[in-house]
Homo-oligomer: A and B are copies of this chain.
Amino acid sequence: MSGPITDEERLLELRFPARPDRMALVRKSIRGAALDYGFDDFAIQEIVLAISEACQNVMRHSYTERETGDIVVSLSRTAERLIIRVTDFAPTVDPTKIRSRDLSDIRPGGLGVHFITELMETVEYLPGPGGVGNILLMTRKTEVSP
């Protein structure tokens, strides 16, 4: 992060079971919300992609099939940035383990973290409140004034 977030204004939180078949619903909902916030189509697609990748990683790596739970996607803003938090309630993950791979090695998988860092301006993995769960905090500059 380039600095602490001040003047943060909460917009909307989405909470849903960490299941792949919920993502289409979540994407449509986020598209709707991002549209209202004034992002253009291409930016909205990119924001939705980053959030989807973050949620997928929670489903595939934070939760297990036996121990699953909810995901919370929260959107807020400052004068200059859209702030996205993807929160899970899984055991705390070691952030140093979350790493992108060498992309010149062509093989299936291993793209999510790379996408997220490319699409967002700041990306930070944090432990959840009270040490429970994980928060992926991402921000992106707003192209337009809200």
Q: Which of B12, B29, B32 contacts A15 (CB 8 A)?
A: B12
Q: Is A5 an interface residue (CB 8 A)?
A: no
Partner of A22, one of B12, B15, B17, B28: B12
In-complex Cβ contact of A28 among B10, B25, B27, B33 (8 A): B33
Nearest B residue to A12 via CB reads: B16
Contact-residue bracket for chain A:
20 to 34
Q: Which residues of B contact A28 (CB under 8 A)?
A: 32-33, 35-36
What's the least CB distance linking A135 to chain B, in Å? 16
DSSP class of A's interface residues: helix, strand, loop or mixed?
helix
Q: Is A1 engaged at the interface, CB distance under 8 Å to the other chain?
A: no
Interface string of A20-40 (1 = CB under 8 A from B): 001011111111110111000
Is A13 touching B12 in the complex (CB atoms < 8 A)?
no
Q: Contacting A29 at CB < 8 Å: which of B16, B17, B30?
A: B30
4 tightest Cβ-Cβ pairs between the two chains A and B: A28-B32, A32-B32, A13-B15, A29-B29
What are 8 contact pairs spanning A and B, CB under 8 A?
A11-B16, A12-B16, A13-B13, A14-B29, A25-B36, A28-B33, A28-B35, A32-B32
